[in-house]
Chain A
Amino acid sequence: MKIDETLKKQIKKKIFEQLENQKKTQIVIVTPFSLTLSQKESILERFPEYKDREVINEIDKNLLGGFIIKAGSSVIDASIKGRITSLVNKLYGFN
C-alpha cells in the first residue's frame, strides 16, 4: 500500500511537533536511586526555569551519586560519574 507523500509529510510534521512539545513540557532527571520529593524540590529550586515542567525520573546505577537533568537539548551533569569522567579526561589531557 502506498501512502500519499503529502500525508506522509504531515504525519512526520505532527510527530515532530508532538515530540518538541513533549520536550518543552518535560524534563528527565536521571539518578542512581529513586528521586525523593525533597531532592526534586531542591533541584527545581536551584533551576527555577524547569519548575513548570513535568519531571520524569530515570534510574541509572552507573551514575553512582548526584543527578543529570535532560531538558530538550540541554543536559546538566551533576553526577559523581560525570565528575569522575571529567577527572579522567583531565588526567588524559583532554581538558
Chain B
Amino acid sequence: MEALGINAKLLIAQIINFSIFFFVFKKFISQPFLHYLNEQHKDEKKRQDLTKELEQGQTNLNLEKEKILKAARKEATEIIAQAKKSADEVKSQIIADANKQAEVIKVKGMNQVEEAKNKINLEVKDKIVSTSGLMLDSVLGEFINAEMQDKIVQELLKKVSSSKYEN
C-alpha cells in the first residue's frame, strides 16, 4: 500500500474523519435541513390549499352574487311590470274621470244654452206682447171717440157676462 503511495494510517484517519463528518452532518445538518424543507413543503401545500379554498369561496361568492343579482333583476322587472300595470289603471281611471267630467260639463253647458234660449224666447215674447199691447192701446186710443163709445157699450153689454170680481 505504501508502494501505491497510500498511507494506511492517514486513510484510516480520513475514514474516521469522514465517518465523524458523516455522523455530524447527518445528525446536525442534514436532518434539520430536511425537516426545514419538509416544513416548507407543508407550508406551501397549506398555502395552495388555502388559495384553492379562497378561489372556491370567490367562485361561490360570485355565484351567490349572480344569483342575488338575478333575483333582484327578476324582482325589479316584476316591480316595473306592477308599476306599469298600476300606472295603466290610474291612466284609464283618469281618462274615464275626465270623460265623465267632460260629459257633465257638456250637459251643463247644453242646459245653460237651453236656459238662455228659453230666457231669450221669453224676453222676445214679453217684448212682442208688451209692444203689441202698447200699440193696440195707442191705435185704439186715437181711433175711439165719444160716438163710438155708445156702440162699444152696447156691444160689450151684449157680450159681458155677469162676471164680477170680488175685491
* Chain A interface residues (CB < 8 Å from chain B): 31-34, 36, 38-39, 42-43, 46-47, 61, 64-67, 73-81, 84-85, 87-88, 91-92
Contact = CB atoms under 8 A, between A and B. Distances in A.
Interface stretch (B26-34, B73-81, B156-164): B156-164
Nearest to B129: A91
Interface residues of B, number: 29
A74 B153 contact: no
A80 B153 contact: no
Given A33-B146, A64-B137, A76-B165, 14 more contacts: A33-B149, A36-B150, A38-B150, A39-B150, A42-B153, A65-B149, A65-B156, A66-B152, A67-B153, A67-B156, A73-B166, A78-B157, A84-B133, A88-B133
Contacts of B157: 42-43, 46, 78
Closest 5 CB pairs of A and B: A65-B152, A78-B156, A33-B146, A78-B160, A74-B164
B164 A65 contact: no
B interface SS class: helix
A84 B163 CA distance: 17
Interface of B: 125-126, 129-130, 132-133, 136-137, 140-141, 144-146, 148-150, 152-154, 156-157, 159-160, 162-167
Nearest to B126: A92
Given A84-B137, A91-B129, A92-B126, A66 B166 contact: no
Nearest to A46: B157
A43 B145 CA distance: 19
Given A65-B144, A92-B129, A73 B167 contact: yes
A94 to B, nearest CB: 11
A81 B136 CA distance: 9
A67 B130 CA distance: 23
A64 B153 CA distance: 11
A75 B146 contact: no
Contacts of B125: 91-92
A60 to B, nearest CB: 12
B153 A75 contact: no
B154 A42 contact: yes
Contacts of B162: 47, 76
Contacts of B152: 65-66, 80
Contacts of A85: 133
A65 B148 contact: yes
